[in-house]
Structure 1
Amino acid sequence: MKHKSLSALISSFNLFVFTFFLLSETTSCVDSQYEACVPKKCGGQSISYPFWIQGEQESYCGYPGFELTCQNNHSILQILENNYTVQEIFYGNQSIRISVSNLGSECLPPIRNLSLEVGTFKFASSDIPYLHILSNCSLSLPGGLLDYNRISCEAKNENVWGLALAMFGNNKNLSYALGKCETQVLAPVELNGYDVIGDYMEVLRMGFVLQWKASNCNECKASGRRCGFDASSYQFRCFCKDRPHRGRCKTRKSSVSLLSPILP
């Protein structure tokens, strides 16, 4: 009888310890960086590492150079002073489809050359075609070339481009037009069946795909936690409920497992 009473007492004690550690783990403070880096949505697109939304997430939730702004329910990414609308983010293969922002029905917004030889992003294709945007062109251009390739703008926007043309690289008149226009901007595109007479505005709206270069998040994500970055040490961080870790969250061994029944 004495042995049964002692056994029951030990079992009750183990149950008490288990309950204590369970409650302490669930009620303990959760790391503030872990809570801050919960994914956000903009325009139906989930935004998480390496991207982060200015004003809605902390900068440490993303990788340097991956800052987005949410404007009119669209995620906007700025690369070399150009604003691009994020159409879709493919986290699985670390790529993103973007297109020039603020495309009107006819007139083009200001666009600068996009060079990605060195930086955070690179073109998904090594042989990406370009749309040649030629501006401040001479009025002596042949009428047919003007009519077909001319970029039409409202009067208030004429100062952006002047007399401008949009031409694909395989246009036989491109060399001639280059000699008649003062400025050329190369806009990356994906033709996908469009030929020399394709609609340049439609091609620009379709956008193109970039691949990004950032610290890999897979190991941290696999442990069910949130990825981030420490700008002071310039190192990746895995934000866990207890505290940040370098690669992944460590499994916490419960002290209950160390307690084994002591039977007489």
Structure 2
Amino acid sequence: MNIFFILRSLSSPLILSYIIIFYLLAKNTSCGVDPKFLACPPTTCANNNQSISYPFYIQGKQEPFCGNPGFGISCGPNGFPILNLSNTQYIIHQIFYENQTLRVSNTAFSVSRPNTTNSKGCLPLPLTQNLTLPSTREFDIAPNQTDIRLFYGCGSLPWLEEHKVGCFNETSSVLALYKEDKNISFVSKNCQGEVVDTIVEDGIIGGNEEALTKGFLLTWKAGNCSVCHNTGGRCGFDFVMYTFRCFCTDRVHSAKCGPDDDPG
């Protein structure tokens, strides 16, 4: 039966008011909030306050449509977010959403490495060739990063002790030198193991070991979230159309929340 016919048939103003209020409440409740908006609030890994939001999403904790393809991260056992690139894990130290950069370090240099030392009292450093990150479709190495070279199989070189960043085994240490260091030639002749290149953030204050632990900067390529965010939306991705979308409380929009935006 038509609701307006029922209203006209009622003579009591009080009953009429109750029915109108009930009708409006029921109508508003049925509209609800778009489920994709509800699914994609910023989140964090346990024991870590780094906010994770578009283009990143936490695998297993958030839906893939909350981020961009290639930007799925995991939460490490120590609480740090982990980014897997070229089959190598990188700890995410900071994400700078305003200029689309993040600071990461290879887990080989993590301060959370098992704190076990050999008989020489040296923290083992694993040998890995995956320290120099190639550019990918999603990420590039940021400008102004500094090249550093690791020398494995180095014997006792007391005057280069400040360059020591760990040990490879019981008898050999690992030295880290910036590529412009004048001692590079001497060290390369006196270290018998592998030589591995990597990068660190330019201008890091502290020794080489601290620079490796703090890592380097990456830039990312993804849809800009600022307009969507500033209009009250949450950014996401449409895997059918394979494009950026803005998740708003009312529905999915193409770029921003508001009545003038095309529907997603």
Aligned to 1:30, the other structure's residue is in SS state coil
The question of whether the paired residues in 2 share the 8 Å contact of 1:221 and 1:227 is answered with: yes
Pick the aligned partner of 1:213 from 221, 230, 243. 221
Q: Does 1:186 align with 2:197?
A: yes
Q: Does 1:37 align with 2:47?
A: no
> Which residue in 2 is equivalent to 1:241?
249
Deviations along 1:159-179, whole A, 9 cap, x unmatched? 9x9653322212222134345
Deviations along 1:105-133, whole A, 9 cap, x unmatched? 633345413234343122332x3212211
What CA distance in whole angstroms lies between the structure 2 residues aligned with 1:110 and 1:44?
31
Correspondence 1:41-80 to 2 at 5 A: 41-42=44-45, 43-71=48-76, 72-80=78-86
Cα drift, residue 45 of structure 1? 1.4
Letter of the structure 1 residue corresponding to residue 31 of structure 2: S
Aligned to 2:145, the other structure's residue is in SS state coil
- Cα distance, 1:97–1:152 mapped onto 2, change above 3 Å: closer
- Cα distance, 1:120–1:181 mapped onto 2, change above 3 Å: farther
Point out the structure with max Rg over C-alpha: 1
What CA distance in whole angstroms lies between the structure 2 residues aligned with 1:75 and 1:221?
23
> Which residue in 2 is equivalent to 1:114?
132
What CA distance in whole angstroms lies between the structure 2 residues aligned with 1:192 and 1:218?
29
Letter of the structure 2 residue corresponding to residue 188 of structure 1: I
Aligned to 1:224, the other structure's residue is in SS state coil
Q: Percent of pairs identical after alignment?
A: 35
**Structure 2 stretches of 5 or more lacking a match?**
1-13, 116-122
Letter of the structure 1 residue corresponding to residue 39 of structure 2: A
Moved over 6 A (4+): 12-19
> Which residue in 2 is equivalent to 1:222?
230
What CA distance in whole angstroms lies between the structure 1 residues aligned with 2:61 and 2:127?
28
> Which residue in 1 is equivalent to 2:166?
152
Deviations along 1:125-173, whole A, 9 cap, x unmatched? 2x32122112356x6xx845775544433xxx639x9653322212222
Q: Which is bigger in relative contact order (C-alpha 8 A, separation at least 6)?
A: 1
> Which residue in 2 is equivalent to 1:124?
142
The question of whether the paired residues in 2 share the 8 Å contact of 1:49 and 1:62 is answered with: yes
What CA distance in whole angstroms lies between the structure 2 residues aligned with 1:227 and 1:239?
6
What CA distance in whole angstroms lies between the structure 2 residues aligned with 1:16 and 1:65?
52
The question of whether the paired residues in 2 share the 8 Å contact of 1:229 and 1:235 is answered with: yes
The question of whether the paired residues in 1 share the 8 Å contact of 2:135 and 2:141 is answered with: no
**Structure 1 stretches of 5 or more lacking a match?**
1-11, 253-264
The question of whether the paired residues in 2 share the 8 Å contact of 1:70 and 1:76 is answered with: yes
What CA distance in whole angstroms lies between the structure 2 residues aligned with 1:183 and 1:36?
47
